[in-house]
Structure 1
Amino acid sequence: MPDSPTLDDLRVLAHPLRLRILSLLTGTAMSAAEAARELDETQANVSYHLRRLHEAGLLDIVEEVSIRGGRAKRYRHDPESGPRLTERNPEEDHVLLTSAAEELKRRIAFRAPEHPASITDAELWVDPEVWAQALRQATELSRLLHEAAEPPRTAGTVRVSASVALFELR
């Protein structure tokens, strides 16, 4: 990936299916066919999006396997790749946040209201030390969830949604 991401690199995050793919491939490596089955999408569509995500440096090819006489690449998402992309060009955060908002709209239809949840929205003024602490805790929360991610439907796991966007305002 180049030192400074292009607008094209950032637009790779603008597609809600790509965010779903990144989330899915945090818990396990998958081929295009495996991911397509899990996401209920066509293999051709998922394959296209996997290539775009890989070109942008958001997916790693972790293995190539033989399947019915052909070769299939299995991809995995490194959660640290996203911040590397957006931190170098923070004025383009709206691309990711807009896509994340659309993805959140999709996910809310799957919310299990009988289980506990935490939903917070705030625009407020806080002490800089409190702000720094909140950022550290949000970063740790993200790390905890990404490191604990398992393949879909692993016994003993629950499917969850986590969206965190913290930023200082002008």
Structure 2
Amino acid sequence: MSRLDDLRATAHPLRLRLLSLLTGAALSAAEAGRELGVSQAAASYHLRVLERAGLIRVVEVVRLRGGDAKRYRHESSARPFDATAPVPPAAPAEEEAYVAALVEELRRRALERTEGPAVTTDAELWVDPEVWRRVVRHVGEASALLHAAARPPRTPGTRPVSMTAALFPLRRNR
């Protein structure tokens, strides 16, 4: 799948929430719907979009009441993070839809913010390319660490957390 396919598939706040939820546990559409407060039909539709894009996969099929329930999982931590890989810019409409979904999801999460260790930052700076590569690598490693440590929702001894990061080089102003 291409970056464009990834952007299209994730350009919806519910699909972003599903990806996060399915990082810590394999869930069916019914289970994911209950956890996120949406119908099984809505969860199922969005899961199929993510599956077609290759962002989640079926890891188990369970027989329930005469039917089969697929359990899906997002295994982002299985993919190695490469901070040196060039990422071409996406089509403006797809990039805009993805950013809008991120903004909506960040607004939702901000209302759930509670006490505890946190960091918020925003910057538009000129830096040495090596410093930039190090920062991208460190943020990628932090993301990989969180994804690898993700547990099913409400696991005793865990707490919900949020991480949103968007790091990208900018065009030079003329």
TM-score interval, smaller chain? 0.7 to 0.9
Find the aligned partners of 1:65 and 1:152 in 2 and give their Cα distance. 20
The AA in structure 2 aligned to 1:127 is D
Find the aligned partners of 1:90 and 1:58 in 2 and give their Cα distance. 19
In the alignment, structure 1 residue 142 sits paired with structure 2 residue 139: no
* Deviation, structure 1 residue 129: 1.5
Question: Please, which of 30, 33, 38 is the counterpart of residue 33 of structure 1?
Answer: 30
Question: Please, which of 104, 107, 110 is the counterpart of residue 108 of structure 1?
Answer: 110
SS of 2:62's partner is strand
The AA in structure 2 aligned to 1:135 is V
Tell me the alpha carbon deviations over residues 139-158 of structure 1, each in whole angstroms, 9 at most, x when there is no partner. Answer: 10010000000000111111
SS of 2:68's partner is strand
Q: Which moved more, 1:21-30 or 1:91-100?
A: 91-100
- TM-score w.r.t. structure 1 length? 0.87
* Deviation, structure 1 residue 8: 6.1
Tell me the alpha carbon deviations over residues 60-104 of structure 1, each in whole angstroms, 9 at most, x when there is no partner. Answer: 1001001122110000012267x99xx765324444332111110
Distance 1:52 1:89, change over 3 A: farther
* Deviation, structure 1 residue 38: 0.3
The AA in structure 2 aligned to 1:36 is G
- TM-score w.r.t. structure 2 length? 0.86
Q: Which runs of 5+ in 2 are unaligned?
A: none
Query: What does 1:20-99 align with in structure 2 at a 5 Å threshold?
Result: 20-79=17-76, 90-92=89-91, 93-99=95-101
SS of 2:34's partner is helix
The aligned residue for residue 169 of structure 2 is 168
Runs of 4+ in 1 over 6 A off after TM superposition: none
Q: Which runs of 5+ in 1 are unaligned?
A: none
